Structure 1
Amino acid sequence: MSQTAPGPRLLSPTYAAITIGMCALIGFVAFEAMAVTTVMPTVARDLDGADLYALSFAAPLASGVIGMVAAGLWSDRRGPVAPLIWSMVLFSLGLLICGTAPTMEILVGGRLVQGLGGGALTVGLYVLVGIVFPRSLQPGIFASFAAAWVLPALFGPALAALVADALGWRWVFLGAVILVGAAALLIAPNLRGRRTDTGIATAGAGRLVWATVGAVAVLALELLGSASGVAGLGALGALVVVVLALTRLLPPGSLTGRPGLPAVIATRGLMSAGFFCAEAYIVYVLQEQWGLTPARAGIALSVVGVTWALSSQAQARLGSRVSHVRAMEIGSLLVLAGVLSLALTVWLDGPAILAGATYVLAGAGMGFGYPRTSVAMLDVSTDADRGFNSAALSIADSLGAALALSISGVVFAATQRQDGNPFLAVFVFAVGLGVLGVLTSRRTAQPA
């Protein structure tokens, strides 16, 4: 009696080495993200740079757009190997600048360099998934990427607080350089033979220009919008420029949520905008409003990270039993529920544990809906446009969050000047983004 041969698995001999290498890289980068979010309130106080707090988060996201576009174009022409290598070099250089920065302005500059590498890294990994793994394994590898955040989420915030207390916050950045180097040693040998010359001649200069313009405009929006008087009006012009840049960098109809791929990309951007806008301030508000230490406040990030990973694994196991559209709808709804509950807790001055617990819902939403945006994008991509679509998805992700953070900085400063609760204002803004995400997720089905 014949038996059906088992299907391919991520840890089968064919895919084990590249799977482990890619997940290790994601894990080390995740540790850096968790650690920096935990210590940034301390950094801002130490460098007297509270007015640049939001910009320190928006900077790497905005500059990452340039890296994404460059890596997407490069990957479509020559494959993802070279972009991956250069992305790790730039990311590490940015960390070195941050770790030795004497002022908050220089630290933000380091975050810009770090973002260039991080953006290219994201696209390079996504393109590599499309080349290396069959479609049946793609939901699993994206879920594994999410799972690679589990260990950093468990010990990252606490370790960052410990390092900052014992050695100083600078070693949070400098120590991450060592981890990225270790990941490079793991993944580099497995990239041999992965070069894929497509011969596609893409005119990328225009897209690179618009990526740069969009990144600069996002950062200018926060700087101008936070200023008082006439200078604040310049933020409106910067916002217009950002919109123009997005129309050049994303597929037509993305900004209006046109059904199909444009709506998928818009949903990814709105989910990230609402979630990361709130995440940047969750540790900050726990310290300022409830007086928690960085280590205790960082527990919220740990729980959210674990929840994200578990939720991602759940959607992967459900597979085709839950459609991509339904998964994105559920994810968007949970993100909205999380930021709304957080806003209500801050408004009513509920217990600190409730503020952290409610935000866990948003992490569950990201875990359930976020990976499906990637799979839905790859489903409608070909060898000729996989790099462009991967870059577009990552641009919406990164620039959406950067724009939200810049606007949140403006909202924070304006509310503070009016003696209001700036944290509540930021979280209400995140709720609005969550509502838009839910509405857009319902338009993600491919048109007949």
Structure 2
Amino acid sequence: MPETVTRRRPRGGILAPDYLPTTVGMFALIAYVAFEALAVTTVMPTVARDLDGVELYALAFAAPLASGVLGMVAAGAWSDVRGPVAPLIASAALFSVGLVVCGTAPSMEIFVIGRVLQGLGGGALSVGLYVTVGLVFPALLQPSIFASFAAAWVLPALFGPALAAYVAHLAGWRWVFLGTVLLVVLAMGLIAPALRRLARPAASAPAPPASRLWWAGVAAAAVLAVELLGSRRGPTAVLALVAVAAVVVAVRPLVPTGTLRARPGLPSVIATRGLLAASFFATEAYIVFVLQERWSLTPGRAGLALTVVGVVWALGSQAQARLGQRVSDTDAIRIGTALVLAGVALVAAAVLLDGPAALAAGAYVLAGAGMGFGYPRTGVAMLACSGDGDRGFNSSALSIADSLGGALALSVAGVAYAAAQRTGTDPFLAVFVLAAAIAVLGVLTAARTARSTSADSR
């Protein structure tokens, strides 16, 4: 067995001297990926105008979503064969190259290419970090490190858009991208000592089939096609069902066997992660919209719900980390999914009954607390079910379920919104009822996440 800090007894948690540089470096890398995912929303209108590419505005958002899935699959397969060191370095380099391309792009077409590279690198980076956590941090500390990952997404959500706007105003939008490159290099320097202690696996897993990359491409393209086709009128909309079927077919080789049937153990952990993301992010996409349209709140006041959710998510993550093994992974996931269901259902009820805006916003915050408590434990439960030969594949599957679950739900929610508008029904209610139905599936699947006595297989 390679000598890693996995064998050391925890001393002082993830901020102990043995772990501090690695913890800070990993936190920073996740935060930079999150910053680029969130802050770009602030500067994208300026980018599109400056590069005369308003017609490619939507594609600039969609491109990293599609390429990110490919990055996740490639990094997972590579990590299983050679360990996480090379994939992690390559993904950080690819992410940085994407930043440089975006920051120096002379046209919108080149900018979109940079976004594709960002997505490839960012998706692969998340998987590489998950695999590294399993090798560097002992099981007792993994809930804490995953909680820090959640916090790394929260901080950019709170301050990223304002910081990006300030940087764009002070130095130009290009430095929103270029300024992050040096920070990525510094973060990789912090985790380099831990990476040097990770030897290549003694018994390398067989190379996974290249077809997984093709299936990942099909899944990503099909997810984007669902809304593009489903929102149209006439026979073309029927093709959206074909796109949904294509997603299901393409996902099967990318996740453990039995995931789509919620088989007990690891498959249900992966499925629950996807359903959590699907329900919550479909709600998140429309909560500010409905607060403005239904209750006439200003964008600033409606946006406070997002800020509060970021804080509550972080607090929930810290709560589950402090409880540690006093609450099992399965129980934490069950509690989290139940809170998400309660929150989303209350949002739907507030819309249906035309209740106060505070009820809708508060219900959304409740769902955020559920995500904070249950979401990190899906990563811990996944690692508990993984070994050296499939840790990369399973980490990749968790990230794929996360990304594709949320993206597919958003696409279907867009279709439901458009269909409700055409039929004269409440489009917001249609979206939140859809999200609540997904949350019900999440609760049912969470009950099956207890580790199976038999070995999970792909």
Q: Give the TM-score category using the shorter length.
A: 0.7 to 0.9
Q: Is the partner of 2:256 in helix, strand or coil? A: coil
TM-score, normalised by the number of residues in structure 1: 0.86
Measured in 2, the distance between the counterparts of 1:316 and 1:416 equals 43
Measured in 2, the distance between the counterparts of 1:45 and 1:424 equals 35
Q: Cα offset for 1:339?
A: 1.6
Alpha carbons of 1:283 and 1:87: their partners in 2 closer, same or farther (altered >3 Å)?
Answer: farther
Report the equivalent of 1:284: 289
Alpha carbons of 1:294 and 1:158: their partners in 2 closer, same or farther (altered >3 Å)?
Answer: farther
Report the equivalent of 2:186: 185
Alpha carbons of 1:437 and 1:41: their partners in 2 closer, same or farther (altered >3 Å)?
Answer: farther
Q: Cα offset for 1:351?
A: 4.1
Corresponding letter in the other structure for 2:249: L
Select which of 340, 359, 367 maps to 2:364: 359
Select which of 315, 323, 337 maps to 1:310: 315
- Residues 338 and 359, structure 1, Cα contact 8 Å, conserved in 2: yes
Measured in 1, the distance between the counterparts of 2:178 and 2:340 equals 32
- Show the 5 A alignment for 1:244-255: 244-255=249-260
- Residues 99 and 180, structure 2, Cα contact 8 Å, conserved in 1: no
Measured in 2, the distance between the counterparts of 1:156 and 1:287 equals 22
Corresponding letter in the other structure for 1:151: L
Measured in 1, the distance between the counterparts of 2:101 and 2:367 equals 32
Alpha carbons of 1:337 and 1:208: their partners in 2 closer, same or farther (altered >3 Å)?
Answer: same
Alpha carbons of 1:405 and 1:174: their partners in 2 closer, same or farther (altered >3 Å)?
Answer: farther
- Report Cα offsets for 1:179-213 as digits up to 9, x if no partner: 35413312235325155423333133011111111
- Show the 5 A alignment for 1:36-435: 36=40, 60-92=64-96, 111-159=115-163, 171=173, 174-179=175-180, 181-191=182-192, 192-194=195-197, 196-198=199-201, 199-435=204-440
Measured in 2, the distance between the counterparts of 1:328 and 1:50 equals 42
- Residues 57 and 405, structure 1, Cα contact 8 Å, conserved in 2: no
Measured in 1, the distance between the counterparts of 2:288 and 2:451 equals 39
Q: Is the partner of 1:340 in helix, strand or coil? A: helix
Q: Cα offset for 1:97?
A: 6.8
Alpha carbons of 1:134 and 1:206: their partners in 2 closer, same or farther (altered >3 Å)?
Answer: same
Deviates more, 1:22-31 or 1:227-236: 22-31
Corresponding letter in the other structure for 2:196: G
Alpha carbons of 1:180 and 1:439: their partners in 2 closer, same or farther (altered >3 Å)?
Answer: farther
- Report Cα offsets for 1:30-74 as digits up to 9, x if no partner: 333443567889999999989986x87665344322111100011
Select which of 23, 29, 36 maps to 1:32: 36
Measured in 2, the distance between the counterparts of 1:240 and 1:313 equals 38
Deviates more, 1:406-415 or 1:368-377: 406-415
Corresponding letter in the other structure for 1:401: G
Report the equivalent of 1:17: 21
Measured in 1, the distance between the counterparts of 2:259 and 2:304 equals 36
Corresponding letter in the other structure for 2:140: S
Report the equivalent of 2:456: none
Deviates more, 1:348-357 or 1:255-264: 348-357
- Residues 81 and 194, structure 1, Cα contact 8 Å, conserved in 2: no
- Residues 385 and 451, structure 2, Cα contact 8 Å, conserved in 1: no
- Residues 342 and 358, structure 1, Cα contact 8 Å, conserved in 2: yes
Q: Is the partner of 2:408 in helix, strand or coil? A: helix
- Report Cα offsets for 1:344-380 as digits up to 9, x if no partner: 3333444444433221111111111111111111112
Alpha carbons of 1:345 and 1:391: their partners in 2 closer, same or farther (altered >3 Å)?
Answer: same
- Report Cα offsets for 1:291-334 as digits up to 9, x if no partner: 54544433222211111111111111111111111111110011
Q: State the Cα RMSD in Å.
A: 3.3
Alpha carbons of 1:308 and 1:57: their partners in 2 closer, same or farther (altered >3 Å)?
Answer: farther
Alpha carbons of 1:282 and 1:37: their partners in 2 closer, same or farther (altered >3 Å)?
Answer: farther
Q: Is the partner of 2:15 in helix, strand or coil? A: coil
Corresponding letter in the other structure for 2:125: L
- Residues 37 and 280, structure 1, Cα contact 8 Å, conserved in 2: no
Measured in 1, the distance between the counterparts of 2:53 and 2:362 equals 31
Measured in 2, the distance between the counterparts of 1:167 and 1:285 equals 33
- Residues 95 and 121, structure 2, Cα contact 8 Å, conserved in 1: yes
Measured in 2, the distance between the counterparts of 1:345 and 1:153 equals 25
* Identical aligned residues as a percent: 63
Measured in 1, the distance between the counterparts of 2:346 and 2:60 equals 26
Q: Cα offset for 1:176?
A: 4.8
Corresponding letter in the other structure for 2:187: L
Q: Cα offset for 1:145?
A: 1.5
Corresponding letter in the other structure for 2:17: P
- Residues 29 and 180, structure 1, Cα contact 8 Å, conserved in 2: no
Measured in 1, the distance between the counterparts of 2:179 and 2:198 equals 27
Alpha carbons of 1:344 and 1:439: their partners in 2 closer, same or farther (altered >3 Å)?
Answer: same
Q: Is the partner of 1:253 in helix, strand or coil? A: coil
Report the equivalent of 2:5: none
- Residues 30 and 152, structure 1, Cα contact 8 Å, conserved in 2: yes
Measured in 1, the distance between the counterparts of 2:344 and 2:124 equals 29
Measured in 2, the distance between the counterparts of 1:218 and 1:424 equals 23
Corresponding letter in the other structure for 2:410: L
- Residues 259 and 447, structure 1, Cα contact 8 Å, conserved in 2: yes
Q: Is the partner of 1:148 in helix, strand or coil? A: helix
Deviates more, 1:105-114 or 1:248-257: 105-114
Corresponding letter in the other structure for 1:183: V
Alpha carbons of 1:77 and 1:6: their partners in 2 closer, same or farther (altered >3 Å)?
Answer: closer
- Residues 341 and 440, structure 2, Cα contact 8 Å, conserved in 1: yes
Alpha carbons of 1:368 and 1:52: their partners in 2 closer, same or farther (altered >3 Å)?
Answer: same
Q: Cα offset for 1:433?
A: 0.8
- Residues 71 and 123, structure 2, Cα contact 8 Å, conserved in 1: yes
1:441 aligns to 2:446 (yes or no): yes
